[in-house]
Amino acid sequence: MKRFKADLHMHTVLSPCGSLEMSPVVIVNKALERGLDIIGITDHNSTRQCAEVYKVGKQKGITVICGAEVTTKEEVHCLTFFENFEKLELFQKYLDEHLPIILNDVEKFGYQVWVDEAEEIVGQEERLLISALDQSIDEVEQKVRELNGLFIPAHIFRPSFSVYSQLGFMPFDITPDAIGMSARVVVDEQIKKYPELKQYTVLRSSDAHFPEQIGTHYSIIEMEEANFEELRKALHQQGGRKVIELK
């Protein structure tokens, strides 16, 4: 078994709140500099920057797990990840169907562009990506399950946009692959307070919006290889694989 340093939650230039510096090449170079083996690309309600980051990551030897940070109807942020580009595209279609038609105000929220490896703009999302989908948390989870993806409620104790801020409890009808907790919460204390969370693997990540934030928080995962299927097994603690440390 090997140990991998994973930061599975970060935004790119595509998120309106993500820095324009967060291009595929900057993200991958910074991740290498910070000693990360695996990064997750999780823009708000869009997967459209994933493929280019994946490509650059592959050239430079970093595993890029592709997905999105979805805002559910209840305004809960959930990370979603997919095993291949076919599944990712089907999920993008679902996002396009369920993101409300509210246009982005660039002045107010920032640019929503995606770029190639040379940092040339490839496309621009017109709809505001930080809106909530018209889908509830269990509907989003169901779609992710249909596509054999990973479903991970993000920063669950954050004072806004989280399971506990919006719902006050972990819904009984969802079965996350893991849960995210930010560095400001003490995991053991929260699990004592909410014993229903004991069954889940906890992940910590940077939620980087700027290059300097990449890898400032991460999870050390013990598994055979740095790939999607191994990650799934590690989150479910199969065959000795597990998350062994949170930073």
- Which of 48, 77 has the CB closer to Zn ion? 77
Among 83, 72, 74, 36, CA closest to 57: 36
Q: 113 vs 30, 85, 171, CA distance in Å? A: 20, 20, 34
Distance in Å, CB of 225 to Zn ion, minimum? 26
- Cβ burial 202-234 (10 Å sphere, 16+ → b, else e): bbbbbbbbebebbbebbbbbbbeebebebbbbb
Determine contact, residues 107/166, Cβ cutoff 8 Å: no
- Which of 7, 207 has the CB closer to Zn ion? 207
Distance in Å, CB of 10 to Zn ion, minimum? 8
Distance in Å, CB of 157 to Zn ion, minimum? 12
Distance in Å, CB of 46 to Zn ion, minimum? 12
DSSP secondary structure code for residue 167 in this structure: T
Interacting residues with Zn ion (CB under 5 A): 69, 77, 154, 207
Q: Which residue is nearest to Zn ion (CB)?
A: 77
- Which of 69, 83 has the CB closer to Zn ion? 69
- Which of 16, 149 has the CB closer to Zn ion? 16
- Which of 66, 223 has the CB closer to Zn ion? 66
Cα–Cα dist 43/69, whole Å = 6
Distance in Å, CB of 236 to Zn ion, minimum? 23
